[in-house]
Amino acid sequence: MTKPDPFRYFKTSREIIRPAVMLYVRFPLSLRNVEDLLHERGIDVSHGSVRYWWHRFGPMFAAEIRKRRIEGMKSSRWRWHLDEMFVKINGERHYLWRAVDHEGEVLESFVTKTRDKKAALKFLKKAMRKHGCPDVFVTDLLRSYGAALKEIGAADRQETGRWLNNRAENSHLPFRRRERAMLRFRRMRSLQKFASVHASIYNLFNSERSLNTRPNFKLNRAAALAEWRALCAA
């Protein structure tokens, strides 16, 4: 049984919708910035259309990227870096928990109102349900991590240290830049949705440019772009 074409009832072609979604999610651009960039290329769409496209197709693209990477064993179970970042929603502090592997691959994002043991346990169970249990959990000194890991019987796998968790701290920077461009979030649901979509697209296009030679970087970039263009293909 063939899957229905998600672009079937849209007047705009998939060759326009895909780059519009990629520009908005991947780069720190506003909806009107994307509209202007497309207009410069002779494509006349409104910023409202771009908003609708990313809400409609962003989670679909992200789910397909995650499925391909998990099936291809591209996510590591060796060493995970766990950290939480503060995000304000309508002036109220919330917490975005993130799990990153040793190569900077964002494995899971989870939004909560608290950062206690219960929130840490829900975050860990969600990440392990999708990616399995790693050999090492690198965390900061937040006691919620230790209590949650003890609950699941993995307390002996925890590592803490002053600079050990820099991988997770640095992985927050692209999301912070994107958050500023969006003028922050207004609902937990929209934050959770965007964080998940942003993580998948960031993983696809993150080629560790500083660690690769120019020829290898160009090959990786071309492969990522080809994979993106093949998402939800007819």
DSSP 42: T
Question: Do residues 45 and 20 lie in contact, with contact meaning Cβ atoms separated by under 8 Å?
Answer: yes
> How far, CA to CA in Å, does 45 sit from each of 7, 50, 88, 194?
16, 8, 31, 22
Q: Supply the DSSP string of 99-166, one letter for each residue.
A: EEETT--EEEEEEES--SHHHHHHHHHHHHHHH---SEEEE-S-HHHHHHHHHTT-GGGEEE-SSTTH
Distance separating alpha carbons of residues 100 and 98, to the nearest angstrom = 7
The mean-pLDDT minimum among 8-12, 32-36, 57-61, 123-127 falls in 8-12
Both structure tokens of 58: 């962003």
Q: What is the pTM of this model?
A: 0.88
Buried b (16+ CB within 10 A) or exposed e, 52-70: ebbeebbeebbebbbeebe
- Other C-beta atoms closer than 10 Å to the C-beta of 178 total 19
Q: Model confidence over 36-79: pLDDT tens digits?
A: 999 999 999 999 999 999 999 999 999 999 888 877 665 577 89
* End-to-end alpha carbon distance in the chain: 14
Q: Model confidence over 68-116: pLDDT tens digits?
A: 887 766 557 789 999 999 999 988 999 999 999 988 889 999 999 999 9
**How are beta strands 136-139 and 79-89 bridged, if at all?**
parallel
Q: To the nearest 5 percent, what fractions of the chain are helix, strand and coil?
A: 55, 15, 30
